[in-house]
Amino acid sequence: MQKEMDKALNLLKTKLEKLEDEQRKKINICATKWGIEMLKNSVKNDKMKTKVSEKEKQTSIRRRKKLQAITEECRLRSALLTDKFKNCTDYLRGFEALINTIQREQQQCNVEDDDFLREFLIKTAKRQYKKGQLNQAVDTFCQLLIATDGRLRIEEMILLVDVFREKVKNL
């Protein structure tokens, strides 16, 4: 009976040791993953109930300072990136407003330039039509169509029809 109790006790001890080993491995993986080896060393030292040597203390202090420096650097980088992102969005909004303003001004200028250019080309086409220079008048109308993106007024279309009618008669 004693043997069976010893066997059961030994079996329980081995299972318990396996569980403790598995748990230690998991803790070590987590500690290594998160860079917290100091915690692991302090747990080992507490378990062993031994005094930490001066060299280990210095190493631990250096690691802690390095970790703090890295943490502070990451915090500053994060703040800098957040600030840059905010400035970037402000810059893009300002840039968008600038582009919209430029486009509005260009549209206004195009309307004024369009009228001047339109008047000039129509007068030129009329003059060429009256002088019988029909090919040049057709070229002038092509320029007018390009300049106005194909938007002709009624009087311009009438003149264009007259030019083509005369050109067809001459053929």
pLDDT band of residue 58 (cuts 50, 70, 90) is confident
What is the count of structural domains for the chain? 1
Q: Is residue 4 part of a domain?
A: no
3-state secondary structure the chain: CHHHHHHHHHHHHHHHHHHHHHHHHHHHHHHHHCCCHHHHHHHHHHHHCCCCCHHHHHHHHHHHHHHHHHHHHHHHHHHHHHHHHHHHHHHHHHHHHHHHHHHHHHHHHHHHHHHHHHHHHHHHHHHHHHHCCHHHHHHHHHHHHHHCCCCCCHHHHHHHHHHHHHHHHHC
Domain residues for the domain of 69 are 50-170
Mean pLDDT of the chain: 75
Would the pTM of this model clear 0.75, i.e. be above it? no
Q: Is residue 75 part of a domain?
A: yes
Higher-confidence residue: 101 or 79?
101
